[in-house]
Structure 1
Amino acid sequence: MSDSAERYLQAARRASTQRRYAQAIDHFEGEWGGLLPASSESIVRYLAAYGALLSSSTLRTHLAALAQWHSQHGFADPTKAARVRDTLRGIQAKHPQPVQQAAVLAIQDLETCVGGLEVELMSTKPTLRLRAARDRALILLGFWRAFRGDELCRLQVEHIKLNGEEGLEIYLASSKTDRGNRGRILTMPALKRLCPVVAYEHWLAVSGLQRGPAFRAIDRWGHVGEQALNANSISRVLRQAFARSGAPNSSYSGHSLRRGFATWASRNQWSNKALMDYVGWRDVQSAARYIEADAPFGEWARR
């Protein structure tokens, strides 16, 4: 296969997914001592060995990795066997686990954090000002457009159009639910406060960026990197910004931006359809995982 063809094949595979799959294969071979190609019976034994130790979602990821390995190497997929699927269902029944959710970013904490960053924008230290400008733009754009962390990292300056005071037009080339990499056009209106448009425009002005990744690392000397931030670093950037501003919650992660917006929109009477269309969810169940409903107990509630 030519090098160019292999590059295109690699581009079709999400890097984060491939990293998880590689770790899963290493776990099957190295940690457990399994052999590839595997039989369905060996996979059943593998699932049984880790059924009480790993979450069901992790085990499903490992099965997907094993399925992909066999497909890529020309072998029949042993994970499709009925015994494998029945074993996984049995594990889920015997070891039920609540879904781990990112903390919801409250609008009050967002205001506190952005207020702290705006104080840093007036610092006498250039590096601190530059980092504050990036963090403010990243956090506000991530919140108000309900971006995933990896989507923020894939944003390109040339794909974001500033339409004066109206807002931003953003071309998102790919996302978790866009398996065909068709991309979609998103809009972000300018807001009266906590405005991501103003924040992004300021970040472009102070960073001098004209092309390439919109959000990048900044070293201690104030040099803006060439590469995009890694998706795994978004949570760290968020927590550091909150810590510097004195905001109370250090448990926020990159996904808290997405959950925070969904909760804010729900409490501000956005319809399910409007929210799903804006965020890009395909079904109500996906949306329900992000929204924290307020049970209307009224005067019966103690608080």
Structure 2
Amino acid sequence: MEVLPVSPDPRSNAVGAARHIDDYAESAARYVKTGQQGAANTQRAYAGDWRRFTTWCHDHNREPLPADVPTLAAFVTALAEAGKKVATIQRHCASVSKAHQLAGLPTPTDDRLFKNLLEGISREKGVRQKQAPAFTMAYFKRMVQGIDTERPDGLRDRALLLLGFAGAFRRDELASLDLAHLRFDDDGLVVELPKSKTNQKGEAEEKAIFFAPDRRSCPVRAVKDWLALLEQHGRTSGPLFLSFHKGQRLSRRRLSTFSLNEIVQLRLGTTYTAHSLRASFVTIAKLNGADDAEVMNQTKHKTTDMIRRYTRLDNIRQHNAAQKLGL
């Protein structure tokens, strides 16, 4: 019987020769590790905490990986007695847990008695976390409008503050923006976020920035003024916010997150940090009647719980139902 030739699968040319299943193991392991590691800032914090833990283990002749429950319990007790905050202790535990996960080992943080220890530390020390304070709109506008925009760094700093506040940007998001991420139209400005703390996969995420009636505090016009200066220096691509050399000479270096925080404190006062821009956006928007969905559309928070955490309503007269009694 004649055997008919089998037509090759047209997809075979696209995917190449078949690979043995073991050939995928290395790539799969890399993907798993990338998925477990998290955001860059988180990785840096975990790395520092892990170094501290391994140094402590070395000094006390303990094994850091795998670590047993008594070792970790002694370590966190030492942190607590050294006056470390609960949030700091919890972060160290998370870094130890992450190291064990990446090594494919059971983590001592899952132990029931160890969890009881953390609960006891939290109860004794309190869990209230120091938060970046929020400013009022009147204060913010006064400080921004007082910036000398005859200086190049004044143009940059005004644009940075107004964009950071109006877009509720995280510090690393603001520092990582490129000119290519900006899109102007009749309504204002759309900023594309290639990646963020809650968007590690690089999915499309955008923030809308609107024109303000007062040109002196308009984020869209402030960014345009800064772009005009960049263009004068032939900078039509690359980082949005750059550092300066001495004498107001524009450099090619992207502004670091550390420098960004310094600018916020220089322009707004040492009470505030770069995170105050984001916290103030949430607080002021809520005081002006914005609902959680509207706020989350700009901040990109995933839960309303985070909105409540970010809202700074410490003033007893702010957002108080006693004003609505009709007395």
Q: Which residue of 2 aligns with 1:245?
A: none
Shift of 1:299: 11
TM-score under structure 2 length normalisation: 0.78
Within 5 Å, give how 1:120-269 maps onto structure 2: 120-122=148-150, 129-163=151-185, 165-193=186-214, 194-208=217-231, 209-242=235-268, 249-269=269-289
Q: Which residue of 1 aligns with 2:307?
A: 287
Within 5 Å, give how 1:11-90 maps onto structure 2: 13-31=38-56, 33=59, 34-37=62-65, 38-52=67-81, 53-90=83-120
Change (3 A) 1:71 1:272: closer
Q: 2: CA distance between counterparts of 1:298 and 1:13?
A: 44
Q: 2: CA distance between counterparts of 1:83 and 1:19?
A: 29
Letter in 2 for 1:27: R
- Residues 159 and 172 of structure 1 are in contact (CA less than 8 Å); yes or no, is this contact kept in structure 2? yes
Give structure 1 stretches of 5+ with no counterpart: 123-128, 243-248
Moved more, 132-141 or 82-91: 82-91
Q: Check if 1:96 corresponds to 2:126.
A: yes
- Residues 234 and 253 of structure 1 are in contact (CA less than 8 Å); yes or no, is this contact kept in structure 2? no
Shift of 1:234: 2.1
Fraction of identical pairs, as percent: 26
Q: What are the superposed Cα offsets for residues 218-250 of structure 1, whole Å, 9 maximum, x if unpaired?
A: 1213333333222232221112123xxxxxx43
TM-score under structure 1 length normalisation: 0.84
Letter in 2 for 1:35: E
Shift of 1:63: 1.3
Question: If you compute each CA radius of gyration, which structure gives the higher value, 1 or 2?
Answer: 2
Shift of 1:112: 1.5
Q: What are the superposed Cα offsets for residues 243-275 of structure 1, whole Å, 9 maximum, x if unpaired?
A: xxxxxx431111111111112111211122212
Q: 1: CA distance between counterparts of 2:295 and 2:75?
A: 41
Query: Aligned-pair RMSD on alpha carbons?
Result: 2.6
Q: 2: CA distance between counterparts of 1:9 and 1:223?
A: 39
- Residues 215 and 229 of structure 1 are in contact (CA less than 8 Å); yes or no, is this contact kept in structure 2? yes
Q: Which has the higher contact order (CA 8 A, sep 6+)?
A: 1
Q: 2: CA distance between counterparts of 1:182 and 1:150?
A: 17
Shift of 1:277: 2.2
Give structure 2 stretches of 5+ with no counterpart: 1-25
| 1:233 counterpart SS class | helix
| 1:187 counterpart SS class | strand
Q: 2: CA distance between counterparts of 1:9 and 1:219?
A: 36
Shift of 1:77: 2.2
Shift of 1:29: 2.2
- Residues 44 and 83 of structure 1 are in contact (CA less than 8 Å); yes or no, is this contact kept in structure 2? no
